[in-house]
Structure 1
Amino acid sequence: MLLTRAGVAFQVVGSRCDEERIRLPQPQMLAIERARAKAREAVLDPTQLGGQPCIAVGADTVVALGQEVFGSPADRADARATLTRLQGTTHQVFTGHACTAFAADGSQLTEAVALASARVTMRALTAAEIQAYVDSGESDGRAGAYAIQETGDRFVTDLQGGWDTVVGLNVAILLRLHQQCLDALAVGPHP
Protein backbone atom coordinates (compact mmCIF):
# COMPACT_ATOMS: atom_id res chain seq x y z
CA MET A 1 0.00 0.00 0.00
CA LEU A 2 2.75 2.48 0.93
CA LEU A 3 4.81 1.69 -2.17
CA THR A 4 1.77 1.80 -4.42
CA ARG A 5 0.90 5.27 -3.10
CA ALA A 6 4.49 6.34 -3.85
CA GLY A 7 4.17 5.13 -7.45
CA VAL A 8 6.77 2.36 -7.15
CA ALA A 9 6.17 -0.75 -9.25
CA PHE A 10 7.08 -3.87 -7.31
CA GLN A 11 6.60 -7.58 -6.98
CA VAL A 12 6.29 -9.26 -3.61
CA VAL A 13 8.69 -12.17 -3.18
CA GLY A 14 8.69 -13.88 0.16
CA SER A 15 12.08 -13.93 1.80
CA ARG A 16 13.32 -17.18 3.22
CA CYS A 17 15.00 -15.26 6.01
CA ASP A 18 14.69 -16.72 9.49
CA GLU A 19 14.85 -13.39 11.29
CA GLU A 20 14.82 -15.04 14.72
CA ARG A 21 18.33 -16.39 14.08
CA ILE A 22 19.60 -12.80 14.01
CA ARG A 23 20.10 -11.65 17.56
CA LEU A 24 21.80 -8.42 18.53
CA PRO A 25 21.53 -6.48 21.79
CA GLN A 26 20.98 -3.07 20.17
CA PRO A 27 17.48 -2.71 18.67
CA GLN A 28 18.75 -0.33 15.99
CA MET A 29 21.31 -2.82 14.68
CA LEU A 30 18.84 -5.68 15.01
CA ALA A 31 16.35 -3.90 12.72
CA ILE A 32 19.06 -3.10 10.14
CA GLU A 33 20.60 -6.58 10.10
CA ARG A 34 17.22 -8.27 9.75
CA ALA A 35 16.31 -5.92 6.89
CA ARG A 36 19.63 -6.69 5.18
CA ALA A 37 19.09 -10.43 5.52
CA LYS A 38 15.57 -10.19 4.11
CA ALA A 39 16.76 -8.24 1.06
CA ARG A 40 19.72 -10.55 0.41
CA GLU A 41 17.78 -13.76 0.86
CA ALA A 42 14.94 -12.67 -1.42
CA VAL A 43 17.17 -13.55 -4.39
CA LEU A 44 18.78 -16.89 -3.60
CA ASP A 45 18.16 -18.42 -7.02
CA PRO A 46 19.48 -16.29 -9.92
CA THR A 47 17.21 -18.13 -12.38
CA GLN A 48 14.22 -16.41 -10.79
CA LEU A 49 15.56 -13.11 -12.15
CA GLY A 50 14.77 -14.15 -15.72
CA GLY A 51 18.03 -12.68 -16.98
CA GLN A 52 17.18 -9.25 -15.60
CA PRO A 53 18.85 -7.23 -12.85
CA CYS A 54 16.70 -6.43 -9.84
CA ILE A 55 16.56 -4.53 -6.61
CA ALA A 56 15.45 -6.44 -3.53
CA VAL A 57 14.01 -4.56 -0.58
CA GLY A 58 13.97 -5.70 3.02
CA ALA A 59 12.52 -3.97 6.05
CA ASP A 60 12.22 -4.96 9.67
CA THR A 61 10.64 -3.20 12.62
CA VAL A 62 11.40 -3.66 16.29
CA VAL A 63 9.97 -1.91 19.32
CA ALA A 64 12.19 -1.10 22.29
CA LEU A 65 11.37 -0.06 25.81
CA GLY A 66 14.73 0.75 27.34
CA GLN A 67 16.87 -2.32 26.65
CA GLU A 68 13.84 -4.59 26.23
CA VAL A 69 13.19 -5.46 22.57
CA PHE A 70 9.84 -6.55 21.14
CA GLY A 71 9.46 -8.05 17.69
CA SER A 72 6.38 -9.83 16.44
CA PRO A 73 4.69 -11.84 19.18
CA ALA A 74 5.17 -15.61 19.07
CA ASP A 75 1.53 -16.22 19.94
CA ARG A 76 -1.47 -14.49 21.49
CA ALA A 77 -0.19 -14.96 25.05
CA ASP A 78 3.03 -13.21 24.00
CA ALA A 79 0.97 -10.43 22.36
CA ARG A 80 -0.95 -9.92 25.62
CA ALA A 81 2.29 -9.77 27.61
CA THR A 82 3.85 -7.33 25.12
CA LEU A 83 0.87 -4.95 25.16
CA THR A 84 0.71 -5.17 28.95
CA ARG A 85 4.37 -4.13 29.08
CA LEU A 86 4.06 -1.31 26.51
CA GLN A 87 0.78 0.22 27.69
CA GLY A 88 1.22 3.46 29.58
CA THR A 89 4.76 4.01 28.24
CA THR A 90 6.70 5.95 25.67
CA HIS A 91 8.76 3.53 23.62
CA GLN A 92 10.96 3.59 20.54
CA VAL A 93 10.13 2.04 17.19
CA PHE A 94 13.02 1.28 14.84
CA THR A 95 12.57 0.26 11.21
CA GLY A 96 15.60 -0.93 9.31
CA HIS A 97 15.54 -0.58 5.53
CA ALA A 98 17.78 -2.32 3.01
CA CYS A 99 17.90 -2.20 -0.78
CA THR A 100 20.22 -4.61 -2.53
CA ALA A 101 20.94 -4.39 -6.26
CA PHE A 102 21.55 -7.69 -8.04
CA ALA A 103 22.97 -8.16 -11.53
CA ALA A 104 21.15 -10.45 -13.96
CA ASP A 105 23.43 -13.34 -12.91
CA GLY A 106 22.37 -12.90 -9.27
CA SER A 107 25.62 -11.33 -8.10
CA GLN A 108 25.22 -8.54 -5.58
CA LEU A 109 26.22 -5.14 -6.96
CA THR A 110 25.59 -2.87 -4.00
CA GLU A 111 23.57 -2.51 -0.85
CA ALA A 112 22.13 0.61 0.75
CA VAL A 113 20.78 0.63 4.31
CA ALA A 114 19.16 3.15 6.63
CA LEU A 115 17.34 3.30 9.92
CA ALA A 116 14.23 5.27 10.82
CA SER A 117 13.04 5.78 14.37
CA ALA A 118 9.97 7.11 16.11
CA ARG A 119 8.82 7.59 19.69
CA VAL A 120 5.34 6.33 20.47
CA THR A 121 3.38 7.07 23.62
CA MET A 122 0.70 4.52 24.35
CA ARG A 123 -2.03 5.29 26.84
CA ALA A 124 -2.79 3.01 29.76
CA LEU A 125 -4.94 0.07 28.66
CA THR A 126 -7.28 -2.12 30.64
CA ALA A 127 -6.85 -5.88 30.65
CA ALA A 128 -10.17 -6.11 28.79
CA GLU A 129 -8.96 -3.72 26.05
CA ILE A 130 -5.78 -5.73 25.63
CA GLN A 131 -7.67 -9.02 25.49
CA ALA A 132 -10.20 -7.70 22.95
CA TYR A 133 -7.41 -6.34 20.75
CA VAL A 134 -5.44 -9.58 20.89
CA ASP A 135 -8.61 -11.59 20.20
CA SER A 136 -9.22 -9.47 17.08
CA GLY A 137 -6.03 -10.91 15.57
CA GLU A 138 -4.68 -7.48 14.76
CA SER A 139 -1.65 -8.01 17.01
CA ASP A 140 -0.56 -11.10 15.07
CA GLY A 141 2.72 -10.60 13.23
CA ARG A 142 3.12 -6.98 14.39
CA ALA A 143 6.22 -5.61 16.06
CA GLY A 144 5.17 -4.56 19.54
CA ALA A 145 1.87 -6.44 19.04
CA TYR A 146 0.00 -3.43 17.64
CA ALA A 147 -0.78 -1.92 14.25
CA ILE A 148 -0.97 1.87 14.23
CA GLN A 149 -2.32 1.77 10.66
CA GLU A 150 -5.35 -0.20 11.80
CA THR A 151 -7.28 0.14 15.06
CA GLY A 152 -4.12 0.15 17.21
CA ASP A 153 -3.93 3.89 16.62
CA ARG A 154 -6.60 4.41 19.26
CA PHE A 155 -4.01 3.41 21.88
CA VAL A 156 -1.46 6.02 20.74
CA THR A 157 -1.55 9.45 22.40
CA ASP A 158 1.64 10.86 20.88
CA LEU A 159 3.87 10.07 17.93
CA GLN A 160 7.23 11.73 17.35
CA GLY A 161 8.63 10.59 14.04
CA GLY A 162 7.18 9.13 10.90
CA TRP A 163 3.87 7.31 10.94
CA ASP A 164 5.18 5.06 8.16
CA THR A 165 8.19 4.20 10.32
CA VAL A 166 5.81 2.73 12.89
CA VAL A 167 3.85 0.99 10.12
CA GLY A 168 7.13 -0.63 9.09
CA LEU A 169 8.31 1.08 5.91
CA ASN A 170 9.47 4.68 5.71
CA VAL A 171 8.76 5.49 2.07
CA ALA A 172 11.03 8.55 1.82
CA ILE A 173 13.99 6.53 3.07
CA LEU A 174 13.15 3.60 0.84
CA LEU A 175 12.92 5.82 -2.26
CA ARG A 176 16.36 7.28 -1.48
CA LEU A 177 17.90 3.81 -1.04
CA HIS A 178 16.13 2.56 -4.17
CA GLN A 179 17.66 5.40 -6.19
CA GLN A 180 21.13 4.51 -4.90
CA CYS A 181 20.61 0.96 -6.16
CA LEU A 182 19.24 2.17 -9.51
CA ASP A 183 22.40 4.26 -9.88
CA ALA A 184 24.52 1.16 -9.14
CA LEU A 185 22.65 -0.85 -11.77
CA ALA A 186 23.35 1.91 -14.30
CA VAL A 187 27.11 2.03 -13.68
CA GLY A 188 27.97 -1.41 -12.29
CA PRO A 189 29.39 -2.62 -8.97
CA HIS A 190 30.40 -0.22 -6.22
CA PRO A 191 33.22 -1.09 -3.81
Structure 2
Amino acid sequence: MTADLTAAPEADTPPRSRGRARWIAVAVVVVAVAVAAVLLRVVGTGGSSRPPTLQNQLADRVAAMFEQATPTDHHRHGHHTVGESKVLCAAKTLGFEPTSATTVAEVRVFYGYHFCAVIEPGRPWDYAQKLSGPLSVELTEPPVVKVAEGGLGFPDRVRAIIPAPYQEAALQELLDEDQMRDLRKRFDAEAAKA
Protein backbone atom coordinates (compact mmCIF):
# COMPACT_ATOMS: atom_id res chain seq x y z
CA MET A 1 0.00 0.00 0.00
CA THR A 2 1.32 3.44 -0.91
CA ALA A 3 0.47 6.73 0.70
CA ASP A 4 -0.90 9.60 -1.29
CA LEU A 5 1.47 12.50 -0.54
CA THR A 6 -0.68 15.00 -2.35
CA ALA A 7 -3.64 14.48 -0.01
CA ALA A 8 -4.38 17.10 2.65
CA PRO A 9 -3.18 16.27 6.17
CA GLU A 10 -5.67 14.81 8.56
CA ALA A 11 -7.63 17.31 10.66
CA ASP A 12 -6.28 15.83 13.92
CA THR A 13 -2.64 16.66 13.05
CA PRO A 14 -1.68 20.23 14.05
CA PRO A 15 0.32 22.16 11.51
CA ARG A 16 4.06 22.39 12.13
CA SER A 17 3.95 26.17 12.31
CA ARG A 18 2.04 26.03 15.62
CA GLY A 19 4.81 23.98 17.25
CA ARG A 20 7.47 26.34 15.97
CA ALA A 21 5.45 29.35 17.15
CA ARG A 22 5.23 27.87 20.65
CA TRP A 23 9.00 27.41 20.83
CA ILE A 24 9.58 30.95 19.63
CA ALA A 25 7.14 32.27 22.26
CA VAL A 26 8.92 30.28 24.98
CA ALA A 27 12.30 31.63 23.85
CA VAL A 28 10.98 35.21 23.86
CA VAL A 29 9.62 34.79 27.39
CA VAL A 30 12.91 33.30 28.65
CA VAL A 31 14.93 36.14 27.11
CA ALA A 32 12.52 38.76 28.53
CA VAL A 33 12.77 37.29 32.03
CA ALA A 34 16.57 37.21 31.82
CA VAL A 35 16.72 40.84 30.67
CA ALA A 36 14.30 41.90 33.41
CA ALA A 37 16.39 40.11 36.05
CA VAL A 38 19.56 41.85 34.90
CA LEU A 39 17.86 45.26 34.83
CA LEU A 40 16.42 44.78 38.31
CA ARG A 41 19.83 43.78 39.65
CA VAL A 42 21.65 46.68 38.07
CA VAL A 43 19.10 49.49 38.03
CA GLY A 44 15.80 48.76 39.67
CA THR A 45 16.87 47.63 43.12
CA GLY A 46 19.10 50.59 43.86
CA GLY A 47 21.71 48.07 45.01
CA SER A 48 25.26 47.65 43.95
CA SER A 49 25.75 46.64 40.34
CA ARG A 50 29.12 45.10 41.17
CA PRO A 51 29.53 41.33 41.39
CA PRO A 52 29.19 39.89 44.91
CA THR A 53 32.90 39.16 45.43
CA LEU A 54 34.34 39.12 48.95
CA GLN A 55 36.10 42.44 48.25
CA ASN A 56 32.84 44.08 47.11
CA GLN A 57 30.86 42.66 50.04
CA LEU A 58 33.44 44.03 52.49
CA ALA A 59 33.44 47.44 50.79
CA ASP A 60 29.63 47.55 50.89
CA ARG A 61 29.65 46.65 54.60
CA VAL A 62 32.12 49.42 55.43
CA ALA A 63 30.17 51.97 53.34
CA ALA A 64 26.94 51.00 55.12
CA MET A 65 28.69 51.31 58.47
CA PHE A 66 29.69 54.90 57.66
CA GLU A 67 26.21 55.76 56.40
CA GLN A 68 24.62 54.47 59.61
CA ALA A 69 27.15 56.09 61.93
CA THR A 70 26.07 58.65 64.52
CA PRO A 71 27.57 62.16 64.57
CA THR A 72 29.76 61.00 67.49
CA ASP A 73 30.95 58.02 65.44
CA HIS A 74 31.76 60.31 62.50
CA HIS A 75 33.74 62.58 64.81
CA ARG A 76 35.78 59.59 66.03
CA HIS A 77 36.38 58.57 62.39
CA GLY A 78 37.85 61.97 61.60
CA HIS A 79 34.71 63.38 59.97
CA HIS A 80 34.54 66.32 62.35
CA THR A 81 32.08 68.50 60.41
CA VAL A 82 29.29 66.04 59.56
CA GLY A 83 26.84 66.98 62.32
CA GLU A 84 23.28 65.67 61.91
CA SER A 85 23.37 65.62 58.09
CA LYS A 86 22.77 62.44 56.12
CA VAL A 87 25.95 60.88 54.75
CA LEU A 88 26.25 58.61 51.69
CA CYS A 89 29.40 56.58 51.21
CA ALA A 90 31.22 54.13 49.00
CA ALA A 91 34.33 52.12 49.80
CA LYS A 92 36.94 50.10 47.98
CA THR A 93 38.78 47.12 49.41
CA LEU A 94 42.57 47.17 49.21
CA GLY A 95 43.10 44.13 51.41
CA PHE A 96 42.01 42.32 54.57
CA GLU A 97 43.18 40.06 57.35
CA PRO A 98 43.42 37.20 57.42
CA THR A 99 44.31 37.08 53.73
CA SER A 100 43.07 33.49 53.64
CA ALA A 101 39.48 34.55 54.48
CA THR A 102 36.85 33.47 51.98
CA THR A 103 33.76 34.96 53.68
CA VAL A 104 32.93 38.31 55.29
CA ALA A 105 32.48 36.56 58.65
CA GLU A 106 36.12 35.39 58.58
CA VAL A 107 37.57 38.87 58.00
CA ARG A 108 38.90 40.59 61.12
CA VAL A 109 40.45 43.73 59.59
CA PHE A 110 39.50 45.66 56.44
CA TYR A 111 42.00 47.90 54.64
CA GLY A 112 40.60 50.22 52.04
CA TYR A 113 39.60 53.59 50.76
CA HIS A 114 36.37 55.43 51.52
CA PHE A 115 34.54 58.34 49.94
CA CYS A 116 31.56 60.00 51.62
CA ALA A 117 29.37 62.93 50.58
CA VAL A 118 27.31 64.92 53.07
CA ILE A 119 23.77 65.87 52.05
CA GLU A 120 22.78 69.37 53.09
CA PRO A 121 19.71 71.23 51.82
CA GLY A 122 20.51 73.46 48.86
CA ARG A 123 23.98 72.03 48.29
CA PRO A 124 24.39 70.10 45.01
CA TRP A 125 27.08 67.46 44.51
CA ASP A 126 29.72 69.87 43.22
CA TYR A 127 29.52 71.94 46.42
CA ALA A 128 28.78 69.17 48.92
CA GLN A 129 31.18 68.41 51.72
CA LYS A 130 33.12 65.27 50.80
CA LEU A 131 35.26 63.12 53.03
CA SER A 132 37.68 60.53 51.70
CA GLY A 133 40.86 58.66 52.32
CA PRO A 134 42.53 55.43 53.33
CA LEU A 135 41.29 53.59 56.40
CA SER A 136 41.47 50.41 58.38
CA VAL A 137 38.50 48.89 60.16
CA GLU A 138 38.69 46.23 62.83
CA LEU A 139 35.42 44.37 62.28
CA THR A 140 34.62 43.99 65.96
CA GLU A 141 31.50 45.07 67.82
CA PRO A 142 31.69 48.04 67.83
CA PRO A 143 34.05 48.40 64.86
CA VAL A 144 37.33 50.22 65.39
CA VAL A 145 37.89 52.68 62.53
CA LYS A 146 41.19 54.39 61.81
CA VAL A 147 41.14 57.04 59.09
CA ALA A 148 44.31 58.63 57.75
CA GLU A 149 43.49 62.33 57.89
CA GLY A 150 44.98 64.63 55.27
CA GLY A 151 47.54 67.37 55.76
CA LEU A 152 51.19 67.45 56.67
CA GLY A 153 52.41 63.94 57.52
CA PHE A 154 49.61 62.19 55.59
CA PRO A 155 51.86 59.47 54.07
CA ASP A 156 53.13 58.58 57.56
CA ARG A 157 49.56 58.33 58.91
CA VAL A 158 48.68 56.02 55.98
CA ARG A 159 51.69 53.81 56.70
CA ALA A 160 50.66 53.63 60.37
CA ILE A 161 47.25 52.07 59.60
CA ILE A 162 47.73 50.28 56.25
CA PRO A 163 50.14 47.31 55.85
CA ALA A 164 53.00 47.59 53.36
CA PRO A 165 51.42 45.53 50.54
CA TYR A 166 48.52 48.03 50.29
CA GLN A 167 50.26 51.33 51.10
CA GLU A 168 51.06 52.41 47.55
CA ALA A 169 47.46 51.87 46.44
CA ALA A 170 46.17 53.60 49.59
CA LEU A 171 48.22 56.70 48.81
CA GLN A 172 46.72 57.06 45.33
CA GLU A 173 43.51 55.04 45.37
CA LEU A 174 40.17 56.50 44.47
CA LEU A 175 36.90 54.78 43.77
CA ASP A 176 36.39 53.43 40.30
CA GLU A 177 34.13 55.26 37.84
CA ASP A 178 31.16 52.94 38.41
CA GLN A 179 31.30 53.47 42.17
CA MET A 180 31.52 57.25 41.77
CA ARG A 181 28.62 57.26 39.31
CA ASP A 182 26.49 55.13 41.66
CA LEU A 183 27.32 57.35 44.65
CA ARG A 184 26.55 60.53 42.70
CA LYS A 185 23.23 59.08 41.52
CA ARG A 186 22.27 58.16 45.09
CA PHE A 187 23.39 61.61 46.29
CA ASP A 188 21.31 63.42 43.66
CA ALA A 189 18.22 61.35 44.54
CA GLU A 190 18.60 62.03 48.29
CA ALA A 191 19.47 65.71 47.80
CA ALA A 192 16.25 66.15 45.80
CA LYS A 193 14.32 64.97 48.88
CA ALA A 194 16.19 67.29 51.29
* TM interval, short-chain normalised: under 0.3
Name whichever structure is richer in helix by fraction: 2
Name whichever structure is richer in strand by fraction: 1
Larger relative contact order, structure 1 or 2 (CA cutoff 8 Å, min sep 6): 1
